[in-house]
Amino acid sequence: MKSVNKKILMVCGVDPEKSIFIKSEIQSLENRGHEIKLITRLPSKKPSKWVIYNGFFHKPNTPFKTLIWYLIFKFKGVFNEPYRQYINDEAQWKFFGKYIGTNKAIHWHNILRIAQQWKPDLIHVHFAWHLEYVIPLADILNIPIVFTAHGSDILVDQGWERKISNPRIKEILCVSKSIMNRITESCPSVINKTSILNNAINPIFLEDTTPPAKRLSIVCIAGFVPIKNHQWLLSALKLLSSKQISYNCTFIGEGKTEESIKKQATKLELHTQFIGWQTEDKIKEAIDNSSVLVLPSVSEGFGMVLIEALARKRVPVVTDLPGTREALNNGKHGFLVPLNDIAALENAILNAHKECLNQGDNILHGRHYVETKFSDVAHASSLELIYSK
């Protein structure tokens, strides 16, 4: 029986044009008749049709801007009792109270105003750090929360255990078994509402593939943050160079460590190129132009980019971690390498290249594994059942 269409307010701290799993999820739900509006905290140069409000600014206020915001709030009555009476609900006051006197209060006010006018049926939150303001928002709207844990949020976010234990959260979805185990071990009280839901792969990655490059061509798709551990890959590339092995390596991503990694690559005279963050079409093209995808993370909840590489019949090389082990089906569909073992990483890259050129049964099995387990249709069907509870 077809489920009742829902109005879903989705919250995620990434630009949907740069986050393949979010864009794919939204599109597959819209194709089934559901209405989606998205709150994101990163400004987009080309705002998606889903973005109802581009969250808050990253740059701190200057004294002048702070004064302007103060006058705006003063004019609006934010600092006096009438405003306290306007926000006559205790949950609403909690929602705004901590941001009074900052530019965030205006943003929260706009988010609430738009949400109250639109009247969503539920809020679907990606990543734990947004729960701090989404829980009060759900209290005001008196609607349930569905929360998806991706891994990095529960590894980094302070106080995530307290947040996910809130009764307003009705379902907790984990993108891997390792994440689910971490959550249920830390918070036994949420076991009955916690389950695994595989991310959906964008259908473009399941289009017909092209033959791999004969030259060793490596692609690394990861944000430039310390946890992604790009230095380890640079060390392995230096080892390849020292053996006069021909290769090229393309880095896709952006972040605070990008400039330092670029400088190290230049200093080491490595055959690299850095092309910033890219759309899914460009990411697919970069994978197609490679033979090996490397993800050298210190920690990884799952690693959806590994699934995208398998879909394009390329071979992933990744740090041996619980989440990545699960993604690659215990190493059946790629190479798992001990963390920071430079020689092992170099050797795995060379073996992965050979396997990719052969395009044997392992490659075909990897593609089939993705088609059967990570399709957008299966993902949307599972979400519909969860939304209907």
64-80 tens-digit pLDDT: 555 555 555 555 544 43
Paired residues of 191 in beta bridges: none
The pLDDT of residue 111: 72
Q: Which residue has the higher pLDDT, 156 or 121?
A: 121
* Complete DSSP assignment for 140-190: HHT--EEEEE-SHHHHH-TTHHHHHT-TTEEEEEESSHHHHHHHHHH-GGG
> What is the fold, at CATH topology level, of the domain defined by 7-197?
Rossmann fold (3.40.50)
Confidence of residue 58 (pLDDT cuts 50, 70, 90): very low
Residue-wise pLDDT tens digits, 213-249: 899 999 999 999 999 999 999 999 999 999 999 999 9
Domain ranges across the chain = 7-197, 203-373
pLDDT at 152 over 80: no
Contact indicator for 322, 298 with CB cutoff of 8 Å: no
pLDDT at 119 over 80: yes
pLDDT at 261 over 90: yes
Range of lowest pLDDT (17-31, 121-135, 164-178, 343-357): 17-31
pLDDT at 266 over 90: yes
The pLDDT of residue 293: 98
**Mean pLDDT of the chain, nearest integer:** 82
Strand segments (E) across the chain: 7-11, 35-39, 51-53, 122-126, 145-149, 169-174, 194-196, 216-221, 247-252, 272-274, 292-295, 315-319, 335-337
Q: What is the mean pLDDT of residues 378-388?
A: 90
Confidence of residue 38 (pLDDT cuts 50, 70, 90): confident
The pLDDT of residue 39: 76
Contact indicator for 203, 275 with CB cutoff of 8 Å: no
The pLDDT of residue 200: 84
Q: What is the mean pLDDT of residues 320-345?
A: 94
Q: What is the mean pLDDT of residues 299-315?
A: 93
Share of the chain above pLDDT 70, in %: 78
Question: Is it true that domain 203-373 has CATH number 3.30.559.10?
Answer: no
pLDDT at 325 over 80: yes
